[in-house]
Amino acid sequence: MSRCSRRKLTGVLIAAAAAALLVSPPASAVTAAVNGGDAMYTVSPGPGREPYYCSAGFAILVKEVRYILTAGHCTEHGLDWKDIGRNVDSHFPVTDYGRVENPSGSGHSQVDLYDGGTQRILRAGTPAVGQLVCRSGMTTKKTCGKVLGLNQTVNFGDGKQVVGTIATDIPVGAGDSGGPLFYAGVGYGVLSGGNNQVSFFQPLPPVLAAYGATLA
């Protein structure tokens, strides 16, 4: 099952998967290396011991320490991620990004294309409206579409908003949160939420600037 919220884009109310909460992992949940779009798994400390899943975004370096960038609503619970590392911080709402320490990771930032290959991400950028873009995530794998708008404000309810998002027409599902938006070797953002018609991404360049980070 998934925890969802209600969001609004240009006056259209949609159901958006705001976080990943799945009862059982998909067959592809465990991987040898963590690339963008791969599953991230943790378990809540509560009595139900509920499993949480999100998707990895980009591998980044901050003062030579390696992290996995993902959505802030994925890291806000403060739980460590199995076979990856500990949560470091969470920025949500207003923005939607967080990082997970990845001490055993190595190599360049890459995205899982779910066809046996990966795409190296060379730089961060800002897409143009109408541009073709792709995203990768543990639930819906790699899918592509076009950019619908920039600087979109997304309402989560309870007074929570994420501002400045990239809106696309790429469908997403529960567990895809935090996965990368990219095209060729350019990274654009990490998934904040969406549904089977529209999706919203936290832009990548301002996150790298806020952390003083570079792509691995």
In which element (H, E) is residue 109 found? none
To the query of whether residue 177 is one of the catalytic residues in this protein, the response is yes
Superfamily of domain 1-216: Trypsin-like serine proteases (2.40.10.10)
Query: Is 108 assigned a catalytic role?
Result: no
**For 77-116, how does the pLDDT look when each residue is reduced to its tens digit (9 = 90+)?**
888 999 999 999 999 999 999 999 999 999 999 999 999 9
Beta partners for residue 138, in sequence order: none
Residue 42 has pLDDT above 60, yes or no: yes
Q: What six digits make up the tokens of 140?
A: 């819906």
Task: Give every CB contact of residue 18 below 8 A, 6+ residues apart in sequence.
Answer: 3, 4, 5, 7, 73, 156, 177, 192, 193
* Cβ atoms of 168 and 148 closer than 8 Å: yes
Can you give the pTM of this predicted structure? 0.87
Q: From residue 91, how far is each of 65, 99, 192 by CA, in Å? A: 19, 9, 12
Using pLDDT thresholds of 50, 70 and 90, give the confidence band for residue 32: low
**Catalytic site residue 96?**
yes
Q: What are the domain boundaries of the chain?
A: 1-216
Query: Which of 5, 38, 55, 73 is an active site residue?
Result: 73
